[in-house]
Amino acid sequence: MDNTTIQFTIKNEPEDEMRQILRLVYDALVQKGYNPISQIVGYILSEDPTYITTHNNARSLVRRLDRDELLQALVKNYLNANDALKEG
């Protein structure tokens, strides 16, 4: 009998979906020649969808995201990344 412990992880679907939508929006903004970071930040701060292009349905996609959940995920990931850099 093998005494190795197998790790079981459940994917966080909402974060994966947010990441995928944000990537699609980012790519659409790049394709249209915008600064994607500035445009996305403008949208997050104001909730004004006109910061996001309609190209490739990006504006419709970004409106699916809950801004509070998105901000929470961004802060969590930022802090986790910084913690990993300190430890490494």
Q: How confident is the model at residue 14 (pLDDT cuts 50, 70, 90)?
A: confident
36 near 45, Cβ under 8 Å? no
73 near 66, Cβ under 8 Å? no
62 near 25, Cβ under 8 Å? yes
Cβ neighbours of 32 (radius 10 Å):
15
pLDDT digits over 21-70, tens only? 999 999 999 999 999 999 999 999 999 999 999 999 999 999 999 998 89
Q: What pTM, to 2 d.p., does this model score?
A: 0.77
Number of domains in the chain: 1
Q: Would you say residue 44 lies in a domain?
A: yes
Q: Would you say residue 54 lies in a domain?
A: yes
Give the Cα separation of 65 and 3 in Å (integer): 43
Q: Would you say residue 7 lies in a domain?
A: no
Scanning the structure block, which residue is given the tokens 């995201």?
A: 65
Scanning the structure block, which residue is given the tokens 């409106």?
A: 63
Q: Would you say residue 1 lies in a domain?
A: no
Q: Would you say residue 43 lies in a domain?
A: yes
- Domain with 67, as residue range(s), is 15-87
- Give pLDDT, residue 15: 86
Q: Would you say residue 68 lies in a domain?
A: yes
Q: How confident is the model at residue 85 (pLDDT cuts 50, 70, 90)?
A: low
